[in-house]
Amino acid sequence: MPRSSLPSFITFPGDPTAPAPIELLDVTLWSFPLAADRGALQTLCDKLIAEPSGGAVRFHPLLPLVLMGVTEFPNAFFPAVAAHGRARERELSLSIPGLYVARAGALPEIGFALFMPFLFLDNPVAVATGREEFGFFKLHGALRLPTDPGSSGFTVDVYGTKTFDPEVFWGETRLLTLTDTGSAATADIGLPWTNVADAGAKLSGALLREAGDVIGKLANAAAPLAGLALGHISQIFLKQFRDIADGTRACYQAVTIARYAVTRLHSVSLANRYEIALNPLDSSPVATVLGLGNPTRTNLGVKVVMDMRLDPGRELWRA
C-alpha cells in the first residue's frame, strides 16, 4: 500500500512506540548454534508463515540448527524522536536461519532471513514497538549476564508457568541458565575479522562446519549466511492483531520483513563453552517446539561487539 494512502499514526500521551529506524550502539552479542530437528523447525515455520498466507510466503529452515543469542543493547534510540532520550535492553533470542519464498507476481522473491519464534527482553518500549510495528514475537524476560557482578554465566527468567493448570498463577519463572565452564571453544572461525564482509564470510563457514553432514548438500549456503550472527541480515515476521469483536480472528495479519545492518564492528572473540539448563515450561515450550532435544552444553560460540541499525520493513503478504 503506498505510504501516502495510509492514515497518520496518532500518538497519545505516554505512547511508548516510535517509528523506525532504530540505532543500536555498542551492542554485545553472544551467539551459540544449537542442534535442532529440521522437521520440527519446518512444521513450526509452516504453521506461522505458510499456512496463514495460504502459501503466498513460505520459509524453509536452511540448517538443522537454531541460533541462541543473548544480546545487550546499552545505547538505543529512535532518530525520529532522538530528543526523547535513549534506552537500554537485554534479550534472549532463538532464531531459525532459512530461505523465504514470496509469490507476489510472475517471479517469486527469494531471500535469506532469520525467523525468531522466541524472543524475551526487559524493555517495555522495545516489546511494544517490536510487536506493533514489525511483528516480533517479543515477551517479557529478565536477564543476567556474565559481566554482572558475581555472575558465572547467563540466566533468563520469564513471565510464565511450568505447567498449565486452571488453578496456577503465572509469575517470574526460570527458563534458562548458562553456566560458564571456564573453557573456550576450539573452533576455527578465522579470527581476526577485519570488517563486516570478512566477518560474515568466515562466520558462515564456521556455522556450516558446525552443521556437520549437511554441508555437502548446502555448499551454496555460505553466501546467504554472510553476516548471520552479526545481525547484518533480514528478519521475517508474522504480524497480527486480535479482532476486538471476535478474539479468535485477526483484524490485521501480514507476513513482514525488515533488515538489520551492522554499521560498525568493534571486536570479535570466541565465547566460552557454557553448561545449558533449559527448563521445560508449558508457557514457553522452547525445546519441544524447536526440536532441541535436551541440549547440555554449547560448542561453537562467538562474542561480537558492534553498532547496528534496524531499518523500516515491508509487507511480503497481507490478508
- Express each pLDDT in 24-39 by its tens digit: 999 999 999 999 999 9
In order, the DSSP letters of 233-279 are SEEEEEEEEE-SS-TTSEEEEEEEEEEEEEEEEEEEEEPEEEEEEE-
- Are 284 and 138 in contact by the 8 Å Cβ rule? The answer is no
Residue 72 is placed in which grid cell?
A: 545487550
Instruction: Give pTM, 2 decimals.
Output: 0.89
* pLDDT 10s digits, 227-243: 554 556 899 999 999 99
Torsion of the alpha carbons at 62, 65, 67 and 68, rounded to the nearest 10? 160
Residue 40 banded pLDDT, cuts 50, 70, 90: very high
Q: Which fold has domain 16-318?
A: Acetoacetate decarboxylase-like (2.40.400)
Tell me, what amino acid is at 287?
Answer: A
Q: 203 or 134, which is more confident?
A: 134
| Residue 223 confidence (pLDDT) | 46
Residue 154 banded pLDDT, cuts 50, 70, 90: very high
170: left (phi over 0), alpha (psi -120 to 50) or beta: beta
Q: Compute the average pLDDT of residues 257-283.
A: 93
Q: Compute the average pLDDT of residues 50-59.
A: 97
